[in-house]
Amino acid sequence: MFNSIKWRLTAIFFSVTAVFLFLMGFYLINSMEQYSFQNTQSRVLSYARLVADDLRDSFTGKPSKNYYQDYAHRAKNDINARVTVIDTSGKVLGDSTLDKDTMANHANHPEIKAAMRGGTGQSLRYSTSLRERMFYFAVPVKSDNRVLGIVRVAIPWSEIQAGQNHIRFTIGTAVVVALILMIIVVSSFTSSLVVPLQEMTQVAGEIAEGKLDRTLDVDSNDEIGALSRGLNYMAERLRDNIRQITEERNKVEAILASMNDGVIAVDCNGNILLINPAAERMFNIKYENSMGKGVIEVIRNYDLEKLLQTALMSEESITREVQIFIPDPKSFRISTAPLMSETGVVGVVAVLRDITAFREVERMKTDFVANVSHELRTPLTSIKGFVETLMDGAMEDPKTAAYFLEIINDETDRLNRLISDLLSLSKVEAKQGKIRKAALNLDKLIINTVSILSPQASEKNQILNVDIKIPLPVINADEDMIGQLLINLVDNAIKYTANGGRVDIRAERWNDSVKIAVSDTGIGIPRDSIPRLFERFYRVDKARSREMGGTGLGLAIVKHILEVHSGRIEVDSIVGQGSTFTVYLPAGNDPAF
């Protein structure tokens, strides 16, 4: 408290003013006392001289016995002081207070001595007769420069002192009052300085704590007003800056959050500084739990850790492909860049792109090419073998030749089917997004398809049954593609069902879709093969499929056709009992259909 400006200012003002006032008071008291004393002295002396003048004649004449005594008594009432008349021998002639005859000779009193010599005398003494200190003034009664007698006027010292005390009291009171007033004025003045300062201190503290909307009311034009305005301006600039920084941060956060690529930043020690939501999803981790931890602790991948360490040391951008197995096996292409500050590298930021799907597509492409080559080579090898045998002489035997040619013909057909299936597949794949859809009546299309395939069924003595619950909703689809889809499913059903079996095609409305189910009483499909049926060239039993003239592409084509029509397919099958392939196609929602 005593450190505050208020107290310091008050103390300085107080001590300076107090010293000044005390010095002034002292001087005033002194001079006033002197003045008052001189005033009393001159009053008493002039009275004494008056009395001396008045008595001059009596000294030359013959006054009565009690003349001076009576005169003194009268005079005492005039001046309210003790009046004594003394002759040149020191003998008291009259006294206003005591009986003159009882009084001793006064010739030795200093004031009397002085008056005897013709001057004025004065003396402060204790009066044994009156028992108090008295101030005595004595003047000679003169005639022609001869001293005839002495008039002495005495006033009690206490009376003079009372006057002086009064002066002291008045001036002392004035000094004290002035000091009190000064304290009040100074403390209210310093308050007017200090209160705004205290308010500023409080507001500055609140601003520092983040309450940036706090401002100071400025109502003065002095330095304190300027300081308040400065503080308000500073807070405003701070608000602006923080808003800008927040905006920037939000922008960066939004960018990081919307990225599909994972972003991980680490400091020089390899501890995580930042992870974006994509990276959180990739590694099934949480930013809050990973902050400040080592990468190896959080992602548990040695290659990633090593890559980041290399990047930290080399201070260059590095791109590398890394396999990460937790939580799922995945391939990432990771690009790193050093985080630079004025002092150098402070960390590394890594951008992780999940290229698992890309790698898978690549693998599938390679597999496909290998499969296609293999599928093409098999019939070609067979054809070449028979042609060579024919050329080597088998041609001579017409029976064998006819048999060989039949095989060659079959193999050529197979090649044809294979190529046309490949073309269909690449067509549906290529057509994705730009197919010719139109309103399509499924009942007609189903009946057409079945009639195309019915000779094949009757050859195997199979019952081919169609059951359509009319009316079927119209669908919005490419007629050729849906036709191909139906042919593939019904063809499979006939192919993989033994002679005398049964194939059922049922179509009906199913909520907002059309449901077409193709069931057979055929060989069925093992449970673990079902998920792979729609892969290209996948066949449960390769030899059997070949024997049946299959290419292994039919269901792959079906899958693609359904994809471009937003449809789906379900497979139910029991080995040895039969299979059901159920297709759902969304009903066309255009009222024109």
Ligand X SMILES: Nc1ncnc2c1ncn2[C@@H]1O[C@H](COP(=O)(O)OP(=O)(O)O)[C@@H](O)[C@H]1O
Q: Which residues bind ligand X (CB under 6 A)?
A: 488, 492-493, 496, 520, 522-525, 533, 538-541, 545, 550-556, 579
545 binds, options Mg ion, ligand X, none, Cβ within 5 to 8 A by partner type: ligand X
Please state the closest distance from residue 432 (CB atom) to ligand X, in A: 19
- Beta carbon nearer to ligand X, 117 or 542: 542
- Beta carbon nearer to ligand X, 251 or 542: 542
490 binds, options Mg ion, ligand X, none, Cβ within 5 to 8 A by partner type: none
Residues touching Mg ion, count (CB under 5 A): 3
Please state the closest distance from residue 552 (CB atom) to Mg ion, in A: 8
Q: For the stretch 13-35, what's the b/e string if a residue is b when 16 or more beta carbons lie within 10 angstroms of its beta carbon?
A: beeebeeebeeebeebbeebbee
- Burial label for 336, CB within 10 Å (0-12, 13-18, 19+), is buried
Please state the closest distance from residue 524 (CB atom) to Mg ion, in A: 15
Three-state SS for 160-194 is HHHHHHHHHHHHHHHHHHHHHHHHHHHHHHHHHHH
Please state the closest distance from residue 551 (CB atom) to ligand X, in A: 4
User: What is the residue-wise DSSP string for 16-72?
Assistant: HHHHHHHHHHHHHHHHHHHHHHHHHHHHHHHHHHHHHHHHHHHHHS---TTHHHHHH
Closest by Cα among 47, 156, 44, 152 to 100: 152
Please state the closest distance from residue 458 (CB atom) to ligand X, in A: 18
- Beta carbon nearer to Mg ion, 56 or 546: 546
- Phi-psi region for residue 94, left (φ > 0), alpha (ψ -120 to 50) or beta? beta
- The number of residues making up the chain comes to 593
- Beta carbon nearer to Mg ion, 67 or 538: 538
Closest by Cα among 112, 105, 133, 98 to 48: 112
Among 483, 554, 567, 578, binds Mg ion (CB under 5 A): 554
Is-contact 543 518, C-beta < 8 A?
no
Three-state SS at 291: coil
Is-contact 323 307, C-beta < 8 A?
no
- Beta carbon nearer to Mg ion, 330 or 536: 536
Please state the closest distance from residue 545 (CB atom) to Mg ion, in A: 8
Please state the closest distance from residue 540 (CB atom) to Mg ion, in A: 11
520 binds, options Mg ion, ligand X, none, Cβ within 5 to 8 A by partner type: ligand X
* Closest residue to Mg ion using C-beta atoms: 554
- Beta carbon nearer to ligand X, 262 or 522: 522
Site string for Mg ion, 480-519 (x = CB under 5 A): ------------x---------------------------
Q: What are 364's two structure tokens?
A: 């599938």
446 binds, options Mg ion, ligand X, none, Cβ within 5 to 8 A by partner type: none
Q: Report angle CA 492, 493, 497 to the nearest 5 degrees.
A: 110
540 binds, options Mg ion, ligand X, none, Cβ within 5 to 8 A by partner type: ligand X
Please state the closest distance from residue 535 (CB atom) to ligand X, in A: 9
14 binds, options ligand X, Mg ion, none, Cβ within 5 to 8 A by partner type: none
- Beta carbon nearer to Mg ion, 554 or 578: 554
Please state the closest distance from residue 523 (CB atom) to ligand X, in A: 5
Alpha helices in 211-222 (DSSP H): none
- Beta carbon nearer to ligand X, 109 or 495: 495
523 binds, options ligand X, Mg ion, none, Cβ within 5 to 8 A by partner type: ligand X
278 binds, options Mg ion, ligand X, none, Cβ within 5 to 8 A by partner type: none
Please state the closest distance from residue 487 (CB atom) to ligand X, in A: 10
Greatest distance between any 2 Cα atoms in the chain: 215
* Residue 500 φ/ψ, nearest 5 degrees: 80, 5
- Beta carbon nearer to Mg ion, 444 or 544: 544
Three-state SS for 87-142 is ECCCCEEEECCCCHHHCCCCCCCHHHHHHHCCCCEEEEEEECCCCEEEEEEEEEEE
496 binds, options Mg ion, ligand X, none, Cβ within 5 to 8 A by partner type: ligand X
Single out the segment in contact with Mg ion by CB under 5 A; choices: 112-120, 422-430, 553-561, 567-575. Answer: 553-561
Q: What is the dihedral of CA 365, 370, 375, 378, to 10 degrees?
A: 170
**DSSP code, position 394:** G
- Beta carbon nearer to Mg ion, 119 or 531: 531
Please state the closest distance from residue 484 (CB atom) to ligand X, in A: 12
Those residues whose C-beta lies under 8 Å from the C-beta of residue 437, and which sit 6 or more positions away, are: 476, 477, 478, 565
Please state the closest distance from residue 482 (CB atom) to Mg ion, in A: 16
Of 308-347, binders to Mg ion (CB under 5 A) are: none
379 binds, options Mg ion, ligand X, none, Cβ within 5 to 8 A by partner type: none
Distances (CA, A) of 373 to 365, 425, 487, 497, 537: 12, 16, 26, 29, 12
Site membership for Mg ion, residue 573 (CB under 5 A): no
- Beta carbon nearer to Mg ion, 140 or 550: 550
551 binds, options Mg ion, ligand X, none, Cβ within 5 to 8 A by partner type: ligand X
- Beta carbon nearer to ligand X, 379 or 550: 550
Q: What are 465's two structure tokens?
A: 């049954």
Question: How many angstroms separate the CA atoms of 277 and 283, rounded?
Answer: 10
- Beta carbon nearer to Mg ion, 51 or 485: 485
Question: How many angstroms separate the CA atoms of 454 and 490, rounded?
Answer: 10
Residue type at 206 in one-letter notation = E
Question: How many angstroms separate the CA atoms of 86 and 128, rounded?
Answer: 18
Question: How many angstroms separate the CA atoms of 538 and 526, rounded?
Answer: 13
Please state the closest distance from residue 533 (CB atom) to Mg ion, in A: 10
Is-contact 535 557, C-beta < 8 A?
no
State the residues that interact with Mg ion by CB under 5 A: 492, 550, 554
